[in-house]
Amino acid sequence: MSNVNYSVVVESASKELSARERIMVKDFTNAIRLDTETADGHQLVITPDYYAVLSVHNEKSDNKDYKKYVIVDKEGNKFVTGSQNFFSTFINIYEEMAGEQFDISIYQRLSKNYMNKTFLTCSIV
């Protein structure tokens, strides 16, 4: 997905993506935002199928270059976040499970470092 002011490139993925899958993961408009979905103490449980790490360039953003992480579940639902903390925890679980099916619970926790701030994380179910 690219135009003069905005572009998205698949940096890496947990599997070889078809052209259709590459186009799908680069489109965030119909993705479920993990930060919104887990607001106000809500938890989300999903069964991940695969993930992609995307490099975004957006001229209209304060930070013009950033990463987005997309997880597609076994039902084909697409979830997106920019949280490095979440992705670090997720990837540790994903790699340890090495191809086995598993569920993760996604939620927010209060930060110990920043008063009244939360961070996105996950745990295996």
Q: Is residue 1 part of a domain?
A: no
Element (H, E) at 42: none
Quickly tell me which residue has 């809500």 as its tokens. 42
Q: Is residue 97 part of a domain?
A: yes
For residue 73, the enclosing domain spans 6-124
Q: Is residue 85 part of a domain?
A: yes
Number of domains into which the chain is organized: 1
% the chain with pLDDT above 90:
82
Q: Is the pTM of this model over 0.75?
A: yes
- At 61-109, the pLDDT tens digits run 889 999 999 999 999 999 999 999 999 999 999 999 988 999 999 999 9
DSSP code for 2: B
Q: Is residue 110 part of a domain?
A: yes
